[in-house]
A and B are shown apart, each in its own frame.
Chain A
């Protein structure tokens, strides 16, 4: 056999076999991966809206937000998933808001690639618990080195100031988007 044809033949057949195998594995894995992701979001929604019993995605919002209902299908608030830039990459978080958007019920970081040991402290409870019952008007603020005095302030973590600031900024952006949506009547 000609060398060139052999080269073509071997590499092509390796490619075809590899592609076939991957298609099979992907076929098997993608529903599982989607289910994992859905379960994860669902668990996160009910963690930030602890009295919630059911939820419904607002499809026309332009970003990811869920309306959360209590047992007797009364709307008790929203779960807002929003992302923005952190210190090294995207930070994605979920934030439970009251129905009037004036208070954060609680907040959780879903995805981040911050510096291990420093920036990743923003995912731990001493930091995230600061957001429980935090007021959102006019905006969420951060302070550094001193105890927060106002009901809309949190304390940034020393050594993770940029990550802390990034999270405050993401939350503020998200909430202002929510308020815009409410004013436009999109939350009905």
Chain B
């Protein structure tokens, strides 16, 4: 029987427990390349979210008529269409932003978060759930990029969203806005998020042991304890 998942969980899993960047480690190329500033991270995240949501909705609603053999080709055509739409709209309405993100907007086509969600989720679920899943994944992606971009911008050029936040005496760490800085920041973020997840798991484990002890099942508690 299919596990029951509430709508909230459908949304929230992409934000934290199955975050595309921090847990699935998907779509790292744009993540590492564009996050030199918070605004770039935010814009990239929103653009990718738009493409993800639109493609998920569409693909989920026509999932039954797409033959299995050509599903990847269809996904790519649909994704590429939405990406081109975003690219043109940004060029027409936000030329500055489009200049800053440069070649990375067209590259959303090959962002594996998007293709991955179509393959793993949208092509198997109804449009409502696909929409929630896409919005959740998009939120997670955007938050991760925003945090990454924010940290790199503050340390690397002492500004946040273009506003100076660190005093002039602070010498910006150039390495943080170079590619190496992206790897360092992402590595540390992954470490922190893993540490948090580990601690949470351990605490749950310990509370189960404590519960068994309280109800007098020392044998079960011991079994869990030695594991």
Determine whether B102 belongs to the interface, using a CB cutoff of 8 Å to chain A. Answer: yes
Which of B18-26, B78-86, B193-201, B212-220 lies at the binding interface?
B78-86
Q: Tell me whether A7 and B70 are in contact (CB under 8 A).
A: yes
Determine whether B138 belongs to the interface, using a CB cutoff of 8 Å to chain A. Answer: no
Residues of B within 8 Å of A14, CB to CB, are 74, 77-78
Which of A18, A113, A116 lies in contact with B81, CB distance below 8 A? A18
Determine whether B38 belongs to the interface, using a CB cutoff of 8 Å to chain A. Answer: no
Task: Tell me the smallest distance from the CB of A40 to a CB of chain B, in Å.
Answer: 7
Given contacts A11-B73, A14-B74, A14-B77, whether A22 and B85 have CB atoms under 8 Å apart is yes
**In the bound complex, CA of A10 to CA of B102 (Å):** 33
Residues of A within 8 Å of B89, CB to CB, are 25, 29
Given contacts A14-B74, A18-B81, A21-B81, whether A29 and B174 have CB atoms under 8 Å apart is no
Given contacts A14-B78, A26-B88, A29-B88, whether A116 and B70 have CB atoms under 8 Å apart is no
Residues of B within 8 Å of A26, CB to CB, are 88
Task: Tell me the smallest distance from the CB of B192 to a CB of chain A, in Å.
Answer: 25
Q: Tell me whether B91 and A117 are in contact (CB under 8 A).
A: no
Pick the most buried of B36, B77, B80: most chain A CB atoms within 10 A of its CB: B77
Residues of A within 8 Å of B88, CB to CB, are 25-26, 29, 33
Residues of B within 8 Å of A3, CB to CB, are 67, 69
Q: Tell me whether B78 and A18 are in contact (CB under 8 A).
A: yes
Interface string of B93-120 (1 = CB under 8 A from A): 1010001001000000000000000000
Determine whether A59 belongs to the interface, using a CB cutoff of 8 Å to chain B. Answer: no
Which single residue of chain B is at the shortest CB-CB distance from A34?
Answer: B92
Given contacts A25-B88, A116-B36, A117-B177, whether A6 and B67 have CB atoms under 8 Å apart is yes
8 Å CB contacts to A: which residues of B169-206? 172, 174, 177-178
**In the bound complex, CA of A25 to CA of B66 (Å):** 25
Pick the most buried of A40, A113, A116: most chain B CB atoms within 10 A of its CB: A116
Q: In the complex, which range does the number of interface residues on chain B fall in?
A: 20 to 34
Q: In the complex, which range does the number of interface residues on chain A fall in?
A: 20 to 34
Which single residue of chain B is at the shortest CB-CB distance from A21?
Answer: B81
Task: Tell me the smallest distance from the CB of A6 to a CB of chain B, in Å.
Answer: 5
**In the bound complex, CA of A148 to CA of B88 (Å):** 45
Given contacts A15-B77, A21-B81, whether A36 and B91 have CB atoms under 8 Å apart is yes
Given contacts A15-B77, A29-B91, A36-B91, whether A10 and B65 have CB atoms under 8 Å apart is yes
Determine whether A118 belongs to the interface, using a CB cutoff of 8 Å to chain B. Answer: yes
**In the bound complex, CA of A67 to CA of B172 (Å):** 42
**In the bound complex, CA of A8 to CA of B42 (Å):** 39
Determine whether A41 belongs to the interface, using a CB cutoff of 8 Å to chain B. Answer: no
Q: Tell me whether A22 and B73 are in contact (CB under 8 A).
A: no
**In the bound complex, CA of A3 to CA of B67 (Å):** 8
Pick the most buried of B36, B92, B157: most chain A CB atoms within 10 A of its CB: B92
Determine whether A115 belongs to the interface, using a CB cutoff of 8 Å to chain B. Answer: yes
Determine whether A61 belongs to the interface, using a CB cutoff of 8 Å to chain B. Answer: no
Task: Tell me the smallest distance from the CB of B1 to a CB of chain A, in Å.
Answer: 31
Q: Tell me whether A116 and B178 are in contact (CB under 8 A).
A: yes
Task: Tell me the smallest distance from the CB of A131 to a CB of chain B, in Å.
Answer: 22
Residues of A within 8 Å of B80, CB to CB, are 18
Q: Which 10 A-B pairs have the closest CB atoms?
A: A32-B92, A18-B81, A29-B92, A29-B88, A117-B177, A36-B95, A117-B174, A7-B67, A116-B177, A33-B91
Can you name 21 A-B residue pairings with CB atoms under 8 Å?
A: A6-B67, A10-B65, A11-B77, A14-B74, A14-B77, A14-B78, A18-B78, A18-B80, A18-B81, A21-B81, A22-B81, A22-B85, A25-B85, A26-B88, A32-B93, A33-B88, A33-B91, A36-B95, A40-B95, A117-B174, A118-B174
B residues sitting closer than 8 Å to A (CB atoms) are 36, 65-67, 69-70, 73-74, 77-78, 80-81, 84-85, 88-89, 91-93, 95, 99, 102, 156-157, 172, 174, 177-178
